[in-house]
Amino acid sequence: MKINDIIYQTPEITEEKLLENIDNYLIFFRDKSLIKRIRELHKGIEINKAFLKEYDLIQDKKSYLTKSQRVMVTGFVGMCMIQMVKDNGGGESTSSN
């Protein structure tokens, strides 16, 4: 399923928040060679947007990444989406009057 379809079907997820989550969690991404490869494939695009673009290419079966790299990209973007849903569903605001 493409990113726009997921965002449309899941009100907790917005593209802006997803891009922010990717930026926040990218520092924990261990495979620096994959980040370099994605930068090479998507020159001139911010890395967070490049991850989303690559995710869509993987869904369309048009990605030039290896199978293990595709798995890492889909897993990473999926983890960022899950974390965003958990953050929104976890009761961000617990104020009581």
* pTM tops 0.85, yes or no: no
Domain positions in the chain are 3-84
Each residue's pLDDT, cut to its tens digit, for the chain (97 residues) gives 787 777 777 777 788 889 999 999 999 888 899 999 999 999 999 999 999 999 999 999 999 999 999 999 999 999 998 888 887 754 443 334 3
C-alpha neighbours within 13 Å on the C-beta side of residue 68: 3
CA distance 3 to 73: 13
